[in-house]
Amino acid sequence: MATAKKNTKKTEKKAVEKKEVKKNAQGHREGTVRYLVEETFAKSPTVTVEKMTEIVNKAFPKSKFNKAHFAWYKSHLPEELKAKVQTPRKARAKKAEAKSA
């Protein structure tokens, strides 16, 4: 019986300590690299590798974020966000199309 009381107290304590964590539309927690990358892509679909690396390293100084990480996060974006993101090739084609019109 004594052990049952101890377990109950621990469970109650854990329930009290839980805090509400802000999440983005895709359900990723605020304060993570993935959250930051997705929010940056949502705000600026034409963001470059260099700019993204700068943003991530500013928020997470110990991060080893690089071109490979950028490509991985970009390939794992939700479909609705992927459609908005422009690759450098698409951006150049869009500029060329605008000049010729």
In a domain, 85, yes or no: yes
Residue that is written with structure tokens 């930051």 in the block: 36
Does residue 5 form part of some domain? no
pTM over 0.85: no
Identify whether 7 is part of a domain. no
Residue 76 lies in a domain: yes
Whether 66 shows a pLDDT value over 80: the answer reads yes
Give the structural domain span for 53.
21-100
Provide the residue type at 28 as one letter: H
Judged by phi (left if over 0) then psi (alpha if -120 to 50, else beta), residue 84 lies in: alpha
Residue 15 lies in a domain: no
> For 28-65, what is each residue's pLDDT tens digit?
667 889 889 988 998 988 888 999 999 999 999 999 99
Rounded percentage of the chain residues whose pLDDT exceeds 70 = 63
Supply the mean pLDDT for the chain. Answer: 77
CA atoms 75, 80, 86, 89: torsion sign: positive
| The two three-digit tokens of residue 59, written as one number | 């928020």
Contact 26, 42 (CB under 8 A): no
Residue 59 covered by a domain: yes
3-state secondary structure at position 31 = coil
- Whether 2 has a pLDDT exceeding 70, the answer reads no
HSE (side-chain half, CA atoms, 13 Å) at 28: 14
Q: How many domains does the chain have?
A: 1
